[in-house]
């Protein structure tokens, strides 16, 4: 559906908004049109492949600039939005999800993609992860898990395995690591999947499935930090003598306990969708409240209702 040509008043005159072509006539964005700055990641970093697959997703699914937003916190992986020529935010460390929640709830027409690292997601942002998951706010969250803080040059992360030697654990990590899959399921995420940067087709498949899910879609994507944790995921990579085992076809994705059991398998474990259930999103629940309130205020605009409330407080 094309919009009418409109004049938008600006200082010094009007500008004419040209109506967009109908979706059916628009061409998918090309990589050239969606890539921004040259990524500053180390050569060989796993994050490159995740970015390349995001571009592929945008092209394949005909996602145009005005339909999506790309949000991240802080970290090497969180530099993501810099490299995407689209609306996006490089936000505060660990706070990408609350920001993304605001965007998702206020702009249900957008698809919100969030990218970040294991530290950003489970350390400083751990609290936000749990709450965004339980609220089932519609978005796709890809955690590029490299088992280390890359940007700050090798500290232990919440997913680093015991014994990992880093600047914060010179004798080797002693703490029990977080299992991102179990964490996501327990927190109430309604879509939980696992993939690895060394299998591009699988990454794309998981991103598409998460995007199509109506709710909080979480993907743990193993993404090697070749600088500070080289070889971490070799045992999951058939090209390095490892094993890439898919979730068994018989697995029931709505069975929470079965999903837990899959998540409990020792590394390299399984890849694919562990858990997927339908539960109303906060977006839908709030829209319902809003619609009921609208009936009472007889078509007032949101800002007018706010104004009324402020006036009452005077």
| Interaction site with ligand SF4 (CB under 6 A) | 41-42, 45, 47, 76, 146, 150-151, 225-228
Minimum distance, C-beta of residue 46 to Mg ion, in the bound complex (Å): 10
Minimum distance, C-beta of residue 213 to ligand TPP, in the bound complex (Å): 24
Which residues contribute to the site for ligand TPP (CB under 6 A)? 74-77, 93, 116-120, 124, 146, 148-152, 157
227 interacts with, out of ligand TPP, Mg ion, ligand SF4, none, CB within 5 to 8 A per kind: ligand SF4
Which residues contribute to the site for Mg ion (CB under 5 A)? 117-118, 146
Coil, strand or helix: which one is 65?
A: helix
Query: Is the distance from CB of 216 to CB of 135 less than 8 angstroms?
Result: yes
220 interacts with, out of ligand SF4, Mg ion, ligand TPP, none, CB within 5 to 8 A per kind: none
How many other CB atoms are there within 10 angstroms of residue 64's CB atom?
A: 16
How many other CB atoms are there within 10 angstroms of residue 152's CB atom?
A: 14
Minimum distance, C-beta of residue 157 to ligand TPP, in the bound complex (Å): 5
Which residue lies nearer to ligand SF4 by CB, 41 or 191?
41
Which residue lies nearer to ligand TPP by CB, 129 or 275?
129
User: Which is it for strands 148-149 and 139-145: parallel, antiparallel or unpaired?
Assistant: unpaired
Query: Is the distance from CB of 13 to CB of 189 less than 8 angstroms?
Result: no
Long-range contact set of residues 26-29: C-beta below 8 Å, sequence gap at least 24: 26/62, 26/64, 28/58, 28/59, 28/60, 28/62, 29/58, 29/59, 29/62, 29/63, 29/64, 29/65
Q: Rounded to an integer, what distance in angstroms lies between the CA atom of residue 183 and that of residue 134?
A: 11
Compute the residue count for the chain.
Answer: 314
42 interacts with, out of Mg ion, ligand SF4, ligand TPP, none, CB within 5 to 8 A per kind: ligand SF4
Minimum distance, C-beta of residue 117 to ligand TPP, in the bound complex (Å): 2
Minimum distance, C-beta of residue 162 to ligand SF4, in the bound complex (Å): 21
Burial zone of 66 (CB within 10 Å; 0-12 exposed, 13-18 middle, 19+ buried)? exposed
55 interacts with, out of ligand TPP, ligand SF4, Mg ion, none, CB within 5 to 8 A per kind: none
Which residue lies nearer to ligand TPP by CB, 42 or 300?
42
Which residue lies nearer to ligand SF4 by CB, 69 or 198?
198
């Amino acid at each position: 559906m094309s919009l009418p040509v409109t004049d938008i008043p600006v200082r010094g005159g009007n500008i004419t908004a040209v109506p967009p072509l109908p979706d059916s006539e628009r061409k998918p964005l090309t990589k050239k049109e969606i890539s921004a700055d040259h990524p500053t990641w180390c050569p060989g970093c796993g994050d490159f492949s995740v970015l390349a697959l995001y571009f592929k997703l945008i092209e394949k699914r005909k996602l145009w600039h005005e339909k999506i937003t790309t949000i991240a916190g802080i970290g090497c992986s969180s530099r993501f939005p810099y490299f995407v020529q689209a609306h996006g935010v490089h936000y505060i460390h660990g706070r990408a999800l609350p920001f993304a929640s605001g965007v998702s709830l206020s702009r249900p027409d957008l698809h919100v993609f969030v990218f970040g690292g294991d530290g950003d997601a489970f350390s400083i942002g751990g609290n936000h992860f749990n709450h965004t998951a339980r609220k089932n706010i519609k978005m796709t969250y890809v955690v590029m898990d490299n088992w280390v803080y890359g940007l700050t040059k090798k500290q232990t992360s919440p997913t680093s395995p015991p014994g990992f030697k880093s600047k914060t654990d010179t004798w080797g990590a002693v703490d029990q690591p977080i299992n991102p899959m179990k964490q996501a399921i327990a927190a109430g995420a309604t879509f939980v999947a696992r993939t690895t940067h060394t299998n591009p087709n699988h990454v794309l498949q998981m991103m598409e499935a998460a995007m199509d899910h109506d709710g909080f879609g979480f993907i743990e994507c193993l993404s090697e930090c070749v600088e500070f944790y080289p070889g971490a995921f070799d045992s999951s990579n058939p090209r390095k003598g490892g094993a890439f085992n898919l979730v068994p076809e018989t697995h029931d994705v709505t069975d929470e306990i079965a999903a837990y059991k899959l998540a409990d398998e020792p590394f390299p474990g399984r890849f694919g969708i562990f858990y997927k259930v339908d539960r109303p999103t906060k977006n839908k629940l709030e829209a319902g409240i809003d619609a009921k309130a609208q009936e009472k205020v007889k078509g007032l605009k949101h800002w007018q209702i706010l104004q009324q409330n402020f006036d009452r407080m005077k």
